[in-house]
């Protein structure tokens, strides 16, 4: 197969990039090893309204509106953050909608197609088929094959595990649990209609704690009568938490661009990454189109735009993580005041940034 642009990954970033490229009239083919869009679900399915990036297909995939956030620190009474609005989405519907937009625009999207390798001139699928392309977009997640091929690797990772359970009482807040039981991460309970997503994230080196810590959190919440004891399903995934990495490079003589988690764009504190995946995917698509139209500065401008749009907030979050990780390593535990300084709901998080 010969195309102008080859895309690795068909999550929000890849599908958004594919739509942009296809609309320009260039040929584009995107590949994903998953059998279908959005499955299995690997996120908590919350999109903060303030992070919406335009055409997010939220109306089609929204299951429930969120109005506020509750933050629990080591079992103490929760702190309320009002006007923290957003949507709990059905990630499968969300991703499928983005893929449909891309295919309607003329993109060729292939699921169940694993990429064996990326090399000069394109991709090789697990089937052995060669995909020749003038430029490659890597939107293949935190452990990106395309990123590795250009020497841009996410080295800091949080591992997550989540269960879906019955929600027994109506709830319109995202519940956040900060605790030393979740080193390098946090716990959550996100309501999704009649279902709740309960999960935790921890630093990669602490991943052995995922199962017991999640079981304890589920039992804790179930004891309040808010959720049921039965588990409907398990999900999990990896989140890059080291901040933005170099998003452009070359595989031999073939230009390559990274977007979404592959570029390290998930927030290192909250883990939020859906909206920025859509936005960066579009920017990557535009950069590819401009580059192939003769603008040889397009890729450098893409890297600059990512840094302009997200660099400051990502650097702030990375600094917070490093500070808290250092304290945890030195003392083995964090104090409540330190947890407050490392979470977006509290003024201490933003005051420290201003002081810096």
State how many domains the chain has: 2
CB atoms within 10 A of CB 245: 20
pLDDT of residue 44: 84
Examine the pLDDT at 267 and tell me if it is beyond 70.
yes
Give tens-digit pLDDT for 54-89.
Answer: 545 667 888 999 999 999 999 899 999 999 999 999
Q: What CATH number is attached to the domain comprising 216? A: 3.30.9.10
pLDDT of residue 50: 56
pLDDT of residue 161: 97
pLDDT of residue 53: 46
pLDDT of residue 61: 87
* Domain contains 322: no
Examine the pLDDT at 51 and tell me if it is beyond 80.
no
Examine the pLDDT at 206 and tell me if it is beyond 80.
yes
pLDDT of residue 356: 41
Structural contact between residues 287 and 271, judged by C-beta atoms closer than 8 angstroms? no
Percent of the chain with pLDDT over 70: 96
Average pLDDT (93-103) is 94
Same domain, 126 and 9: yes
pLDDT of residue 354: 45
* Domain contains 337: no
Give tens-digit pLDDT for 301-333.
Answer: 999 999 999 999 999 999 999 999 999 999 999
Which string of b and e fits 59-76 if b means at least 16 CB within 10 Å?
eebbbbebeebbbbbeee
Average pLDDT (105-119) is 96
Same domain, 198 and 274: no
- Domain membership of residue 225 as a residue range: 157-240
Structural contact between residues 258 and 138, judged by C-beta atoms closer than 8 angstroms? yes
Alpha-helical segments (H) within the chain: 12-23, 58-61, 91-105, 145-149, 210-222, 274-292, 298-306, 312-331, 336-341, 347-355
Same domain, 141 and 276: yes
pLDDT of residue 352: 53
In degrees and rounded to multiples of 5, residue 175 shows phi and psi of -100, 125
Same domain, 168 and 292: no
CB atoms within 10 A of CB 231: 13
Q: What CATH number is attached to the domain comprising 25? A: 3.50.50.60
Same domain, 105 and 129: yes
Same domain, 45 and 150: yes
Examine the pLDDT at 107 and tell me if it is beyond 80.
yes
């Amino acid at each position: 197969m010969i195309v102008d642009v080859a895309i690795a990954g068909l999550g929000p970033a890849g599908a958004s990039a594919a739509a942009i490229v296809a609309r320009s009239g260039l040929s584009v083919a995107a590949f994903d090893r998953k059998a279908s869009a959005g499955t299995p679900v690997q996120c908590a399915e919350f999109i903060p309204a303030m992070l919406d990036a335009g055409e997010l297909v939220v109306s089609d995939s929204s299951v429930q509106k969120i109005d506020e956030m509750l933050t629990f620190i080591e079992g103490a009474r929760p702190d309320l953050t009002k006007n923290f609005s957003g949507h709990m989405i059905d990630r499968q519907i969300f991703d499928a909608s983005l893929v449909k937009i891309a295919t309607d625009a003329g993109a060729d999207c292939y699921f169940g197609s694993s990429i064996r390798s990326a090399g000069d001139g394109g991709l090789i699928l697990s089937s052995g088929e060669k995909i020749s392309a003038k430029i490659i977009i890597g939107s293949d997640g935190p452990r990106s094959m395309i990123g590795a091929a250009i020497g841009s690797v996410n080295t800091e990772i949080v591992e997550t595990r989540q269960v879906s359970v019955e929600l027994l009482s109506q709830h319109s807040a995202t519940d956040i649990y900060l605790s030393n039981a979740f080193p390098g991460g946090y716990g959550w309970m996100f309501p999704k209609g009649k279902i709740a997503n309960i999960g935790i994230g921890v630093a990669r080196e602490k991943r052995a704690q995922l199962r017991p810590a999640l079981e304890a959190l589920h039992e804790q919440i179930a004891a309040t009568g808010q959720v049921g004891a039965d588990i409907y399903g398990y999900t999990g995934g990896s989140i890059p938490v080291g901040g933005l990495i170099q998003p452009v490079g070359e595989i031999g003589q073939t230009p390559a661009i990274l977007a979404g988690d592959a570029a390290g764009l998930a927030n290192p504190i909250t883990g939020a990454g859906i909206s920025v995946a859509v936005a960066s995917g579009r920017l990557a698509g535009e950069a590819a189109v401009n580059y192939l139209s003769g603008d040889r500065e397009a890729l450098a401008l893409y890297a600059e735009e990512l840094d302009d749009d997200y660099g400051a907030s990502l650097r702030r979050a990375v600094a917070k993580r490093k500070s808290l990780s250092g304290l945890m390593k030195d003392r083995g535990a964090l104090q409540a005041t330190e947890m407050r300084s490392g979470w977006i709901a509290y003024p201490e998080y933003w005051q420290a940034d201003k002081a810096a």
